[in-house]
Chains A and B, each alone.
Chain A
């Protein structure tokens, strides 16, 4: 199919949705950073990231996705290699080694690992007979465990946790027996419980304070004089607590764009990335927050709709994987901002500031567009739905 025909068949609703979300992101990155001279101009940098990502996405869109399938293992290998080499090459920032420095840019391989995992799992699970056998569950678990372990060692617990829902969703969509999946979930939870002992001190503190905060109740002010709680609120609980203040303070209609005191007065940390949803809540209130969630939900549902309409298994699984990645990351981001989960750094797709995250999300959307534009069967074998 020629490039022009592909472009003609592109799902413009999806493009529109992604475009609106990106624009929303730019606006709120600007709002979150305008008052702080240290971060001024980040919305422009984000616009550049978006433009470059769109360029790369266009190239990916014009490339038949069957080629991506053939390159699945090399892509996966490259991502794993990048993760393996990271501790030796990457700089340590805030106690973690997560980025490669490339000139003025920083690349975060964990973000690319998410897309790499989606591609390789789709390639492995596309054959029905494999999906329904033992290797349809065991091998994907192993495939996921490698980058997940490497990412956890950076340490980046949040990003490593995103990989497991992707695995489960793709296996489920591929037809892996539900019983086997439930066993895997059970074993996974046991392993996770055991993994608590291997968490770093600060991660344990975050989990501990998260568990404690459910017992505080609405009268935390009466405990404000209590040295212990005060120390927590100024220490490990500072970020989620300030985020909750921003979210709750927003109320129904919010303070107005650019007027959120928690973000404008610098109380909310990482507000351009890990807590950008709190900025939205504070400035636009519940109405704005629901609007954003509605757009994200529409995006995910639209992706699942595309998946449902795609007969070819690799393409379908690819889209399911991307949808799960976006949905999981969005839900986790919101849960962290509202302290439903312990504090961890997860950007909201297309909204948060960050070159790697933006690039990966745009490439993922481009892959989905690629699949949607080429819905006819292109592959041989039993790779059909």
Chain B
């Protein structure tokens, strides 16, 4: 065999070796690792799309919605597309690039930005005036020339609808030919016409910005968003390529506005094709019902709470895992059907599907709107519902080619609260009117509950402060509104033989009762009559009663009605923030001061509840949620005669006592007690003015408590008008009056 033939054979062997190596690798990839690659293939084309669920609405006791989901739209900016294909984006970026590479000069201005729309117009002027020789790599540098040509082509093609590549080619050819003419001359375009077309686009953006901000008060100014995106990109470009760990920031979507009504978005939809980079997508927003009047539902705003996207929270994991398992169980059935029709699913592929579904659910929950405060947080589980899933086959360019399976959403459940929207509206208006005569920003609160403990209405002022500060004063006393409870304890102690001092033996009320204790009036012999003493709020009676009951007895009087520690406290129930009653150290030292309401702190809710107890003899548990678990009422074990004495005293209070000046109360058949608790220095005459009671004596339906914090004046004079305004409005609505009187 000749040398040449031998060498040809060697070549054949060499090729054979190469082929053998390739075949071995192919076998490894296609047979040994086939399963893994097949999974990747499925992962490429299988996708799970989560279907957002409707969050349940929060309703009042009659099913009128207080807060609910409303479909809306969001506007987002994709700056990558905006700077490349929008004439304004291309003009600004192109002009800045031209400034950077000295293709143009602009005395006194380092760069052009979006925040001043005049800059965009200036950018257009500058860019179309750039000589095409600047588009040559030798003049501006290779990358700059390429980018400059791109932006110029984008600008001109988006304005004239000519082909981008055609313009680019013409510019390149003109640059190669050494032309120094401006681009618009090279392309035979009229600069004035270009400016006019550009002005139209710019004006559309200005109009869009205006409308979006009118539709969403929290919306960012479009120009600020654009400039911020540009700045981030510049910062990213400044990082050396080797150190760039993040994807280009302009690839991410920036939110411009969310929660826009569809009317607002119609404008953008009509011009969207002309504004690449600005995207609209469907969204949902949580809206509050609006009430007539200045305040609307503002009092309830913090109580109803907020719904916001939150990151994964540990306390939700267990529940979400259950949700996922349920969904995957459903899906298993569908997958079996799918495997018969389409593909034979191996166990590993099933695992893959489970994994993808898991990620989809997790992703949804991370993005999902979760109640983060108030009722929305407390009732989040039933309100949130569960997301649906769509199992789709996709291609690289088509998000969904084929629906392989789907799982319905589990809509959130509607939750009914105990509030009555109409009563709430009346209360809000009453509070506005009643406080009109007081100082600005006067703090006040009023609550209305029924005899079952359902909170029917709850309002507070001022609106710009958290009601927690109003409902839960860190310091403050209830004053004389606590006297009915002490009287009841006194009467009960007499009846049952517990330590007491019979009131027949009490001294006359003469104004002063030892150091630092006294009464505003000299009630004389009335200090021995429990009805009159309560109606006229005679401190002498209660000092002496306290001496008989001792500190324990007085505290027990309040505790029985949930106003002092040791008694029947409100159970923790969803949606209700109730703090356990607190007492001060001082109250322990002097039961007489305790008996006239000093050292006892309460809020309008617990006070209204206690008065509901006076009305029925049973202490109800307060409740905000109509459905589901509700605390029951507790029999107080009081003798009807004792209760009758207290009710007589409250009636006396309205007819002839401390609230007699508020004639409206008498006319409405209200039983009430006033309270004036001095806060701060005794000489300051700054009081917490209380009025609490219920109506009517024969058929109790509503209990209420009102307080005006830190005001000069007495309880009846300050809190009375609020109550009267509310009750008169109630009476003027025959339908409501029929229900609640």
Chain A positions within 8 Å of B, measured between CB atoms, are 91, 169, 172-175, 201, 218, 221, 227-228, 231, 242, 244-252, 261-262, 264-267, 281, 285-286, 289-290, 293, 297, 300-301, 304, 307-308, 313, 316, 320, 323-324, 327, 331, 334-335, 338, 340, 385
* Distance in Å: Cβ of B193 to nearest Cβ of chain A: 29
Are A331 and B396 closer than 8 Å at their CB atoms? no
Give chain B interface residues in 54-106, CB to chain A under 8 Å: none
**8 Å CB contact of B30 from A262, A285, A331, A335:** A285
A245-B40, A327-B15, A340-B22 as given contacts; A252 in contact with B29, CB under 8 Å: no
A251-B38, A265-B45 as given contacts; A172 in contact with B11, CB under 8 Å: yes
Tell me which residues across on chain B come within 8 A of A175, comparing CB atoms.
3-4, 7
Are B29 and A248 closer than 8 Å at their CB atoms? yes
* Distance in Å: Cβ of B189 to nearest Cβ of chain A: 23
Binary contact track B391-410/A, C-beta < 8 Å → 1, others 0:
00111110001000000000
Complex Cα gap A257–B159 (Å):
45
Query: What residue in chain A is nearest B39 (Cβ atoms)?
Result: A221
**8 Å CB contact of A301 from B12, B33, B393:** B12
Complex Cα gap A169–B10 (Å):
10
Q: Let me know if B639 is at the binding interface, CB within 8 A.
A: no
* Distance in Å: Cβ of B10 to nearest Cβ of chain A: 7
Complex Cα gap A331–B18 (Å):
7
Tell me which residues across on chain B come within 8 A of A250, comparing CB atoms.
30, 34
Are A246 and B41 closer than 8 Å at their CB atoms? yes
Are A262 and B29 closer than 8 Å at their CB atoms? no
Are A385 and B29 closer than 8 Å at their CB atoms? no
Complex Cα gap A245–B26 (Å):
12
Are A251 and B18 closer than 8 Å at their CB atoms? no
Are A320 and B11 closer than 8 Å at their CB atoms? yes
Complex Cα gap A62–B100 (Å):
62
Query: What residue in chain A is nearest B395 (Cβ atoms)?
Result: A265
Are B30 and A289 closer than 8 Å at their CB atoms? yes
Per DSSP, chain B at the interface is helix
Q: Let me know if B25 is at the binding interface, CB within 8 A.
A: yes
Complex Cα gap A264–B44 (Å):
12
Are A248 and B8 closer than 8 Å at their CB atoms? no
Query: What residue in chain B is nearest A333 (Cβ atoms)?
Result: B22
Tell me which residues across on chain A come within 8 A of B45, comparing CB atoms.
261, 265, 267
A175-B3, A247-B30 as given contacts; A267 in contact with B11, CB under 8 Å: no
Tell me which residues across on chain B come within 8 A of A244, comparing CB atoms.
29, 37
Are B19 and A308 closer than 8 Å at their CB atoms? no
Are A297 and B19 closer than 8 Å at their CB atoms? yes
Binary contact track B15-54/A, C-beta < 8 Å → 1, others 0:
1101101110111011101101111110011000000000
Are B41 and A286 closer than 8 Å at their CB atoms? no
* Distance in Å: Cβ of A45 to nearest Cβ of chain B: 21
Q: Let me know if B2 is at the binding interface, CB within 8 A.
A: yes
Complex Cα gap A385–B27 (Å):
40
Complex Cα gap A244–B41 (Å):
10
* Distance in Å: Cβ of A9 to nearest Cβ of chain B: 21
Are A172 and B37 closer than 8 Å at their CB atoms? no
Are B19 and A331 closer than 8 Å at their CB atoms? yes
The 4 closest A-B pairs by CB, nearest first: A248-B37, A249-B41, A265-B395, A266-B396
Are A249 and B3 closer than 8 Å at their CB atoms? no
Are A324 and B18 closer than 8 Å at their CB atoms? no
Query: What residue in chain B is nearest A287 (Cβ atoms)?
Result: B30
Are A173 and B11 closer than 8 Å at their CB atoms? yes
Tell me which residues across on chain B come within 8 A of A245, comparing CB atoms.
37, 40-41, 44
Complex Cα gap A338–B245 (Å):
28
Complex Cα gap A127–B27 (Å):
44
Tell me which residues across on chain A come within 8 A of B246, comparing CB atoms.
227
Complex Cα gap A172–B10 (Å):
9
Are B36 and A228 closer than 8 Å at their CB atoms? no
Are A293 and B41 closer than 8 Å at their CB atoms? no
A173-B4, A218-B33 as given contacts; A334 in contact with B11, CB under 8 Å: no
**8 Å CB contact of B23 from A261, A290, A304:** A290
Are A286 and B19 closer than 8 Å at their CB atoms? no
Complex Cα gap A266–B397 (Å):
7
Tell me which residues across on chain A come within 8 A of B41, comparing CB atoms.
245-246, 248-249, 261-262
A289-B26, A293-B23, A338-B22 as given contacts; A267 in contact with B8, CB under 8 Å: no
Chain B positions within 8 Å of A, measured between CB atoms, are 2-5, 7-12, 15-16, 18-19, 21-23, 25-27, 29-31, 33-34, 36-41, 44-45, 169, 241, 245-247, 393-397, 401
* Distance in Å: Cβ of B494 to nearest Cβ of chain A: 75
A262-B44, A320-B8 as given contacts; A385 in contact with B22, CB under 8 Å: no
Are B44 and A261 closer than 8 Å at their CB atoms? yes
* Distance in Å: Cβ of B354 to nearest Cβ of chain A: 14
Tell me which residues across on chain B come within 8 A of A231, comparing CB atoms.
247
* Distance in Å: Cβ of B358 to nearest Cβ of chain A: 13
* Distance in Å: Cβ of B141 to nearest Cβ of chain A: 15
Are A293 and B22 closer than 8 Å at their CB atoms? yes
**8 Å CB contact of A308 from B5, B29, B37:** B5
Tell me which residues across on chain B come within 8 A of A267, comparing CB atoms.
44-45, 395-396
* Distance in Å: Cβ of B272 to nearest Cβ of chain A: 24
Tell me which residues across on chain B come within 8 A of A335, comparing CB atoms.
22
Tell me which residues across on chain B come within 8 A of A308, comparing CB atoms.
5, 8-9
Tell me which residues across on chain A come within 8 A of B169, comparing CB atoms.
91
In the complex, besides A173-B7, A300-B12, A335-B22, 5 extra interface pairs with C-beta distance below 8 angstroms are A175-B4, A261-B41, A266-B396, A307-B8, A316-B8
Most-contacted residue by chain A among B5, B15, B19, B40 (CB, 10 A): B15
Tell me which residues across on chain A come within 8 A of B395, comparing CB atoms.
264-267
Query: What residue in chain B is nearest A248 (Cβ atoms)?
Result: B37
Complex Cα gap A81–B410 (Å):
71
Tell me which residues across on chain A come within 8 A of B11, comparing CB atoms.
169, 172-173, 304, 320, 323-324
Tell me which residues across on chain B come within 8 A of A249, comparing CB atoms.
34, 37-38, 40-41
**8 Å CB contact of A252 from B2, B3, B18, B34:** B34
A248-B36, A249-B37, A340-B22 as given contacts; A286 in contact with B30, CB under 8 Å: yes
Complex Cα gap A162–B394 (Å):
38
Tell me which residues across on chain B come within 8 A of A173, comparing CB atoms.
4, 7-8, 11
Tell me which residues across on chain A come within 8 A of B7, comparing CB atoms.
172-173, 175
Tell me which residues across on chain B come within 8 A of A221, comparing CB atoms.
39
Are A251 and B25 closer than 8 Å at their CB atoms? no
Tell me which residues across on chain B come within 8 A of A301, comparing CB atoms.
12, 15
Are A252 and B31 closer than 8 Å at their CB atoms? yes
Most-contacted residue by chain A among B5, B22, B23 (CB, 10 A): B22
Tell me which residues across on chain A come within 8 A of B34, comparing CB atoms.
248-252
Query: What residue in chain B is nearest A201 (Cβ atoms)?
Result: B241
Are A385 and B23 closer than 8 Å at their CB atoms? no
Are A338 and B5 closer than 8 Å at their CB atoms? no
Tell me which residues across on chain A come within 8 A of B396, comparing CB atoms.
265-267
Tell me which residues across on chain A come within 8 A of B40, comparing CB atoms.
245, 248-249
Complex Cα gap A308–B8 (Å):
7
Complex Cα gap A149–B464 (Å):
76
Tell me which residues across on chain A come within 8 A of B5, comparing CB atoms.
308, 385
Query: What residue in chain A is nearest B44 (Cβ atoms)?
Result: A267
Tell me which residues across on chain A come within 8 A of B39, comparing CB atoms.
221
Most-contacted residue by chain A among B9, B21, B38 (CB, 10 A): B38
Complex Cα gap A262–B38 (Å):
10
Query: What residue in chain B is nearest A255 (Cβ atoms)?
Result: B41
Most-contacted residue by chain B among A231, A281, A308 (CB, 10 A): A308
Are B394 and A286 closer than 8 Å at their CB atoms? no
Tell me which residues across on chain B come within 8 A of A307, comparing CB atoms.
8
Complex Cα gap A13–B16 (Å):
21
Tell me which residues across on chain B come within 8 A of A285, comparing CB atoms.
30
Tell me which residues across on chain B come within 8 A of A266, comparing CB atoms.
395-397
A-B contact pairs, 30 of them (CB 8 A): A172-B7, A172-B11, A175-B7, A201-B241, A227-B245, A228-B245, A244-B37, A245-B41, A247-B29, A247-B37, A248-B33, A250-B30, A251-B30, A252-B30, A252-B31, A264-B395, A265-B396, A290-B23, A290-B26, A297-B15, A300-B15, A301-B12, A304-B8, A304-B9, A304-B11, A308-B8, A323-B11, A331-B22, A334-B26, A340-B21
